[in-house]
Structure 1
Amino acid sequence: METEDQKLNIVSVYSPEDNKPKQERESFYDQLQNTIQSLPSDQQILILGDFNARIGNQIIPGIKQRFNENVLNDNGELMIDLCRFNELRINNTFYDHKEQHKFTFSNTRGHRSTIDYIVTNRYIHPLQILDIRTLNSADVGSDHSLLLAKIKLKFKPHKKLGQATQEVKINIESLWDLSIK
């Protein structure tokens, strides 16, 4: 997307669960690293998704704050290493909400955790991220809660009427095919 200042690159992720083989999980993070490196280094990056990572609540300046659950798993360590290496910020951890608005996953056995995150690079200023919390009232048919982010971005103004615009259509149904996804 083109914002007023620069381009915004949006990456959607789904990481293998923590109980998957270590090689599979490391391969995912290697692929994500390659994706990040393939993007221009001077543009905004927004990474959204299910990282299946529990990152703990220890403060790491510039990367994460304390407003998270206290559990750290192997995927959490991989995610933190990726964020350290690329100077990425795990934005969920910067907002002190009630527990019901922090947990992104819950199951029928009463287990709850935060495993879905919104991560940005240094070209999205922390003041642009206004809030991040779960929206529990949204029924999304999943054991995950909808993660809501309020991000302040300035987009380029629309062209004046009368100018020809080129419309691009995207076949989103094709994303169900794993080779295209």
Structure 2
Amino acid sequence: MMAIRIQGQPLNITIIQMYAPTTDAEEEEVGDFYGNLPDMVNMTPKKDAIFIIGNWNSKAEDKVLDGVTGKYGVGVQNKAGERLIKFCQGNTLVVTNTLFQQPKRRLYTWIPPDGKYRNQIDFILCSQRWRSAIQSVKTRPGADCGSDHELLIVKIHLKLKRVRKTEAPIMIWEYAVDVRNRFESLVIEDRQPKELWAEIREIVQKAAEKHIPKAKKSRKAKWLSDKALEVPKERWDEKSKGSRTRIRVSKY
């Protein structure tokens, strides 16, 4: 499994791509998968719109389960389907494929090589909070994907603000090119390790100074006036002189 986080305003979008073990997989492999997937979900910030897509190798059937599935599932629920439902219930997720009425051929997601039957085993899950953002989910049977799985498409409507582009990618690219060019002229053979390390460090530092601006230190706000800050100093001076005179803070 893998995840990508897309920056947005006022929220970010996290997409997790996964592949679940097949029905004949070892129980240990299945346990590892359903143990690791919740960890990845929990790593995602709660404010993100989260979508989990992939081949679940499971059947959710056409049974309505409030907040989890609709009435447009296909097939009879199997053991893997039970795990899928429990996973959704435990992580407040909805199986979007089952929510929208479509022609049968746009509900099937997998056709075996012999073409004798069809199944719905690929699903797109989303957090229940963003259920209203899902406008449509269906397959494109005519798409040439080079696979026995059909192309599954979800249409999502989210109101996002424009994110201002930064100059950081250009800066990083220029820095990387400069370092690479400097390394090309670096002589490595018959060099002492310390000498070579010193030259490498100098290359990296000079390239960084040229392309990467130094971070500006933010000035901390003063919670005490300059006069108030002088009180401890005066106390210390008097104490070092052996004086027992008490310095009054009220005058500040």
Q: Same fold (TM over 0.5)?
A: yes
Matching residue of 1:87? 92
1:76 aligned partner, one-letter code:
G
Matching residue of 1:141? 146
Unaligned runs of 5+ in 2: 1-5, 173-252
Matching residue of 1:167? 169
TM-score, normalised by the number of residues in structure 1: 0.85
Matching residue of 2:124? 118
1:76 paired to 2:81: yes
Matching residue of 1:66? 71
Question: Equivalents in 2 of 1:73, 1:164: separation in Å?
Answer: 49
Q: Secondary structure at the match of 1:41?
A: coil
1:132 paired to 2:134: no
Matching residue of 2:104? 99
Which structure: greater strand fraction?
Answer: 1
Q: 2:12 aligns with which of 7, 20, 39?
A: 7
Does the aligned pair in 2 maintain the 1:45–1:123 contact within 8 Å? no
1:14-55 Cα distance to aligned partner (Å, 9 max, x none): 111111112211211111011111112232211111111111
Q: Secondary structure at the match of 1:79?
A: helix
Does the aligned pair in 1 maintain the 2:8–2:162 contact within 8 Å? no
Percent identity over the alignment?
26
Q: 1:154 aligns with which of 154, 159, 163?
A: 159
Question: Equivalents in 2 of 1:76, 1:167: separation in Å?
Answer: 43
Q: CA deviation at 1:158?
A: 4.3
Question: Equivalents in 1 of 2:49, 2:19: separation in Å?
Answer: 20
Q: CA deviation at 1:154?
A: 3.1
Aligned-residue RMSD, C-alpha: 1.8
1:150 aligned partner, one-letter code:
K
Q: Secondary structure at the match of 2:136?
A: strand
Matching residue of 1:32? 37
Unaligned runs of 5+ in 1: 170-181
Q: CA deviation at 1:5?
A: 2.3
Structure ranking higher on relative contact order (CA contacts 8 Å, 6+ apart): 1
Does the aligned pair in 2 maintain the 1:2–1:155 contact within 8 Å? no
Does the aligned pair in 2 maintain the 1:3–1:154 contact within 8 Å? no
2:168 aligned partner, one-letter code:
Q
Q: CA deviation at 1:164?
A: 4.8
Q: CA deviation at 1:108?
A: 2.9
